[in-house]
Amino acid sequence: MKRRARIRRCRARAVVLAFLVAGLVAACAPAGSDGDSAAAFDARPLDAPATVVIGLYPSITVLPLYVAQERGYFAAERLDVQTPLSKSSVDSMPLLAAGRMDGFVSAPSPSFINSVHNGVQAKFVASFGNPRPGGPNSAFVAKNAGPVTDVASLRGRRIAVGNGKADAAAFMLAELLKQGNLTMDDVQLVDVDLAESVTALENGSVDAAYVLGVTAVDLRNAGTHVVLGDMDAVLAQGTGAGIIFGSRLLDHDTRVGAAFLRAIRRGAQDLQGDYMNDPQITAILARAMRLPAEALRKQGPVAPVVSTDMAIGTSFFERMQQYFVDAGVIPPGRAIALDQAFDQRFVDAMRTAG
């Protein structure tokens, strides 16, 4: 009897010790550390200041971030947000993989897909918003009274698209060509930098070119160029552009990632309605982009519809990835699954918090 009692006491002490050790390990482990990242996800406000590095290319698309910066929303979350220049995911993915950048803003790209396939931890977590119907938004244009008058007349023509087939603009062109019963095999792609596309049109190097929305508006209003096809239909499900987080914010510091997106959401809430007619907003954008406020007000017709729920759809990514595979830019075996490309936990946490 005494021996059995001793055994029971030893077992009880072992169970207590096991619970104590488990509790100590849990207390010492950082939120979002190694293990099941879904179980470790933590969106609570920060206890201490933190720095986060998010690469971006200055544009109206990231206006919610500029608003959050200038109006103190990041500071309220105890964040110091640094925004180095990010021209493309080709530049940013190596920095993300090396831990020199915590995230960046981009559309889906072959670089992103290949890097994730190779094991780099990177996922889309949120969207800034969607194109404004009837903009036009980014568009393909041709000279007025020239040989190209509509999508069908692009057959055999030279079209300026940066980075050839490995670009989001090339995907949009492939979608646009369907409106004229054409494919990418029916046109000639010419690699022209976006900033030089209008010049290439003027000097006859190309017959049509991809331009940003504000440029398309200026050219159309001047009566010098025609906008080709219905880009609203192409962009009906968004542009696929969004915020990409790397391993630090996805796995190790989810509280920092959540704080960053909460501040962005506050910025987005300030950008509802006809926000480009608000002098304070255009002044913020002018300082961020180092452009005259009056010039930026002309972007009102093409300013994106800013999302306050920041939900990011997957359809555009699926279509674009399939285009990259069909175009031979990505081998079929390197395509990635949606759960490798998207992490909805941050948006879900904000939705739950209200």
| pLDDT for 239 beyond 60 | yes
Question: Between the ranges 94-98, 304-308, 316-320, where is the mean pLDDT highest?
Answer: 94-98
C-alpha 266/C-alpha 78 separation (Å) is 14
pLDDT score at 2? 42
Question: Between the ranges 4-18, 27-41, 71-85, where is the mean pLDDT highest?
Answer: 71-85
pLDDT score at 8? 46
Element (H, E) at 211: strand 208-211
Lowest mean pLDDT among 31-35, 56-60, 87-91, 276-280: 31-35
Fold of 42-131+238-353: D-Maltodextrin-Binding Protein; domain 2 (3.40.190)
pLDDT score at 195? 83
Give the residue ranges of DSSP H helices in the chain: 2-28, 37-40, 63-70, 73-76, 89-97, 110-117, 168-177, 197-202, 213-222, 231-234, 247, 254-269, 279-289, 293-297, 315-326, 338-341, 345-353
CB 279 within 8 A of CB 61: no
Is 15 or 203 the better-scoring residue by pLDDT? 203
Is 98 or 13 the better-scoring residue by pLDDT? 98
pLDDT score at 270? 95
| 139-234 CATH choice from 3.30.590.10, 3.30.420.10, 1.20.1050.140, 3.40.190.10 | 3.40.190.10
Q: What is the mean pLDDT of residues 77-92?
A: 93
Query: pLDDT (tens digit, 9 = 90+) per residue, 147-197?
Result: 999 999 999 999 999 878 888 889 999 999 999 999 999 999 999 988 899
| pLDDT for 83 beyond 80 | yes
The domain ranges of the chain are 42-131+238-353, 139-234
| pLDDT for 220 beyond 50 | yes
Ramachandran region, residue 348 (left: φ > 0; alpha: ψ -120 to 50; beta: rest):
alpha
| pLDDT for 17 beyond 60 | no
The pLDDT confidence band at residue 305, using thresholds 50, 70 and 90, is confident
pLDDT score at 61? 86
pLDDT score at 251? 95
Q: Are the folds of 42-131+238-353 and 139-234 the same?
A: yes
